[in-house]
Structure 1
Amino acid sequence: MNKRWKQGAAAVLALGLGLAAVLSGCGPAKTEESVKVRIGEVTRSIFYAPQYVAVNQGFFKAEGLDVELTTTFGGDKTMTALLTGGIDVALVGSETSIYVAQQGSGDPVINFAQLTQTDGTFLVSRKPAQGTFDWNSLKGSTFLGQRKGGMPQMAGEFTLKKHGINPQKDLNLIQNVEFANIPTAFASGTGDYVQLFEPQATMFEQQGKGYVIASFGVESGRLPYTVFMTKKSYIDKNPDALQKFTNAVQKAQNWVAASSVDVIADSIASFFPDTDKEIIKGVVKRYKDQGSFASDGIVDAEEWSNLQNVMEAAGELKARVDHGSLVDNRFAEKAKASVK
């Protein structure tokens, strides 16, 4: 009897082990660990709406990426963080990659996915325009501009020169105010006109402190204004991660193109907890209407050439840089073709 009991117990044990193996095989497959990518954005701005959509709609996560987003406050600080390994990817103006190349970097910074394709600033007047706005009305005025050498200032001066205005001779040009303090300076009485980003431009309109009368983004044309970039060494070591990253950006760009202003504003609102939802909607609408959000990540040769035209006009370009030397469109082209 003891022998029969042992044989039965052995059979039950074998059956149990077999069943466990079957159930184990039918369970969920082990998922791959997510890849961490550290992004440094030059500032926190509604202008970068597609980036925040990629985070909040789960597009980065769906690609197996664990994105860490940090605001690095300024092009020079953003590029320093990238070059020293503090971040993996920078979201900043393409002109910064040219500045690095002009300094002779042995590990060039490569633009691989465009996010915005126009300047994001607006001409704000202290008084509403009377009838059709005439750029010549700026002559002799005090103009509160952006920091010298930055893309907003260069796009602003490019536009002024296009309309026959010499910024240094025809205006009382103020460029010594810190970026973060420009709205406050104008609100306190400095300048007849100011070049402002959103949401300050819309907020000034709502408060009766200023009036948007022109768009530097529309006037200066398409250019790779804000682009995701990284060091060539990082591209060489992490091509798969960068492809997934660019796929997520393309998903966000498609989503933004297909979504209403209200839906986009709802998606990105968590990144702007101190900004009224109606202001977010107004800013998104203004940028969407003028085509500031790029529809794909490709930096084409025409945009790259226009960028350098703007830099040349501002006296900030030592020599023109070949499109292929600082732009790698492989990831964006593949994402555009494959992501639906």
Structure 2
Amino acid sequence: MKKWSKISFSFLLISILMFSLIACNKDTAKEPKKLEKVRIAEVTRSIFYAPQYVALSKGFFKDEGLDVTLTTTPGGDKTMTALISGGADVALVGSETSIYVYAQGANDPVINFAQLTQTDGTFLVSREKNDNFSWDLLKGTTFLGQRKGGMPQMVGEFVLKKHGIDPHKDLNLIQNIDFANIANAFASGSGEFVQLFEPTASIFEKEGKGYIVASFGKESGHVPYTTFMAKQSYIKDNKGVIEKFTRAVYKAQQWVQSHSAEEIAKAVEPFFPDTDPEIMKTVVDRYKGQGSFATNPILDEEEWNNLQNIMKEAGELPKEVKHDTLVNTEIAEKVMKK
């Protein structure tokens, strides 16, 4: 009897220990993986960047093990400064900025690795409603353009010249207003025409402050307008992170491609709490309809050359740079194959 009690006790003790080990392993398995932090600096807050907000709101970055924080740094110069100084890991900004940095002899150049938008994102807004708009109507008027040297300004001038308008001779061109204050300046009475991003353009239209009469995106063709980029050293030291980041972006691009404007607007709504949902839906539909959202993250050579042609036409290209010098398509191609 005593012998049996000892055996039973030993068996009970072993069972308890095994149960404890199993429970411990289960608890360990339940512990969430530590997410890798990535800081994005975006050049402006715009529905134009809908796939980025979808990647955040739908958890595509988190699914890849990334803890992404987003900061808006208005203007390409501020965004690039944040990236170069180490205040951000990744920048979402126009590809022209990487050329400017390279031309200044940077030891650690900025590399474009995932394209987000593939057309210009601005619209021509008129103070007066005009159902029979023609570009000739701009001649002799005051035009509020974008910051000199930035993609909006360069594409704007490219399109104006395409329609036989010399922006520096045929217009009273104003370019000395800070990027973040252009819309306010127009709302306050400056200018007869202005170049604006969405949703500001549609909000102005709803409020009767201006009317959208043309799209610079439709007029200019495909161009790497906004791209995710990082310093060459960061990409080299964080290949896994960049691949995961690009995969999340690609998932978001595919999601946007396969969903309605209403569903996309709903997904990005948290990033535009003060914007009318109907306006958001209209804006998404407008951008999607003109093919502004890139459907994959590859920035190809034809788009890169188109960018440099636009810069050259505007007199802002410091030097021609080969596609493979500042563009890395290997990451995007690898992600798309998987």
Report the TM-score range of the alignment, normalised by the length of the smaller protein.
Answer: over 0.9
- Cα offset, 1:50, TM superposition: 0.4
Q: Report the residue type matching 1:42 in the other structure.
A: V
State the percentage of identical aligned residues.
63
Counterpart for residue 64 of structure 1: 65
Counterpart for residue 92 of structure 2: 91
Q: Aligned to 1:119, what secondary structure does the other structure show? A: coil
Cα distance change of structure 1 residues 172 and 331 upon mapping to structure 2, 3 Å threshold: same
Counterpart for residue 127 of structure 1: 128
Q: Aligned to 2:77, what secondary structure does the other structure show? A: helix
CA contact (8 A) 2:113 2:229 kept: yes
Cα distance change of structure 1 residues 26 and 187 upon mapping to structure 2, 3 Å threshold: closer
Matched, 1:290 2:290: yes
Q: Distance in 2 between matches of 1:280 and 1:67?
A: 24
Q: Distance in 1 between matches of 2:158 and 2:204?
A: 25
Name which of structure 1's ranges 178-187 and 41-50 shifts more when overlaid on structure 2: 178-187
Counterpart for residue 326 of structure 2: 326
Q: Distance in 1 between matches of 2:200 and 2:12?
A: 74
- Cα offset, 1:32, TM superposition: 3.6
Counterpart for residue 116 of structure 1: 117
Q: For 1:275-315, what per-residue CA distance to the aligned partner results, in whole angstroms no more than 9, with x for missing partners?
A: 11111111111111111110010000010001111111111
- Cα offset, 1:253, TM superposition: 0.3
Counterpart for residue 105 of structure 1: 106
Q: Distance in 2 between matches of 1:295 and 1:173?
A: 35
- Cα offset, 1:19, TM superposition: 3.7
Q: Report the residue type matching 1:252 in the other structure.
A: A
Counterpart for residue 159 of structure 1: 159
Matched, 1:274 2:274: yes
5+ long unaligned stretches in structure 1? none
Within-5 A mapping of 1:215-294: 215-294=215-294
Q: Distance in 1 between matches of 2:237 and 2:82?
A: 19
Q: Aligned to 1:55, what secondary structure does the other structure show? A: helix
Q: Aligned to 1:40, what secondary structure does the other structure show? A: strand
Q: Report the residue type matching 2:202 in the other structure.
A: T
Q: For 1:247-290, what per-residue CA distance to the aligned partner results, in whole angstroms no more than 9, with x for missing partners?
A: 00000000001111111111110111111111111111111111
- Cα offset, 1:130, TM superposition: 4.3
Aligned residues between the structures: 337
Q: Report the residue type matching 1:204 in the other structure.
A: F
Counterpart for residue 193 of structure 1: 193
CA contact (8 A) 2:94 2:227 kept: yes
Counterpart for residue 42 of structure 2: 41
Name which of structure 1's ranges 46-55 and 194-203 shifts more when overlaid on structure 2: 194-203
- Cα offset, 1:6, TM superposition: 4.1
CA contact (8 A) 2:148 2:154 kept: yes
Q: Distance in 1 between matches of 2:7 and 2:125?
A: 91
Q: Distance in 2 between matches of 1:80 and 1:179?
A: 16
Q: Distance in 2 between matches of 1:185 and 1:32?
A: 48
Q: Distance in 2 between matches of 1:67 and 1:219?
A: 34
- Cα offset, 1:220, TM superposition: 1.2
Counterpart for residue 137 of structure 1: 137
Matched, 1:16 2:19: no
Q: Aligned to 1:167, what secondary structure does the other structure show? A: coil
Q: Aligned to 2:318, what secondary structure does the other structure show? A: coil
Cα distance change of structure 1 residues 305 and 22 upon mapping to structure 2, 3 Å threshold: same
Q: Aligned to 2:87, what secondary structure does the other structure show? A: coil
Q: For 1:29-64, what per-residue CA distance to the aligned partner results, in whole angstroms no more than 9, with x for missing partners?
A: 365422111111111111111001001101011111
Q: Report the residue type matching 2:106 in the other structure.
A: S
Counterpart for residue 55 of structure 2: 54
Q: Aligned to 2:15, what secondary structure does the other structure show? A: helix
Q: Distance in 1 between matches of 2:98 and 2:84?
A: 11
5+ long unaligned stretches in structure 2? none
Q: Report the residue type matching 1:312 in the other structure.
A: K
Q: Distance in 2 between matches of 1:11 and 1:205?
A: 79
Q: Distance in 2 between matches of 1:194 and 1:42?
A: 19
Q: Distance in 1 between matches of 2:23 and 2:211?
A: 68
Within-5 A mapping of 1:171-190: 171-190=171-190
Q: Distance in 2 between matches of 1:24 and 1:102?
A: 57
Please identify runs of 4+ aligned residues in structure 1 that moved more than 6 A. Answer: none
- TM-score, with length taken from structure 2: 0.95
- Cα offset, 1:26, TM superposition: 6.2
- Cα offset, 1:10, TM superposition: 2.3
- Cα offset, 1:146, TM superposition: 0.9
- Cα offset, 1:23, TM superposition: 5.1
- TM-score, with length taken from structure 1: 0.94
Q: Distance in 2 between matches of 1:130 and 1:91?
A: 35
Q: Distance in 1 between matches of 2:318 and 2:22?
A: 68
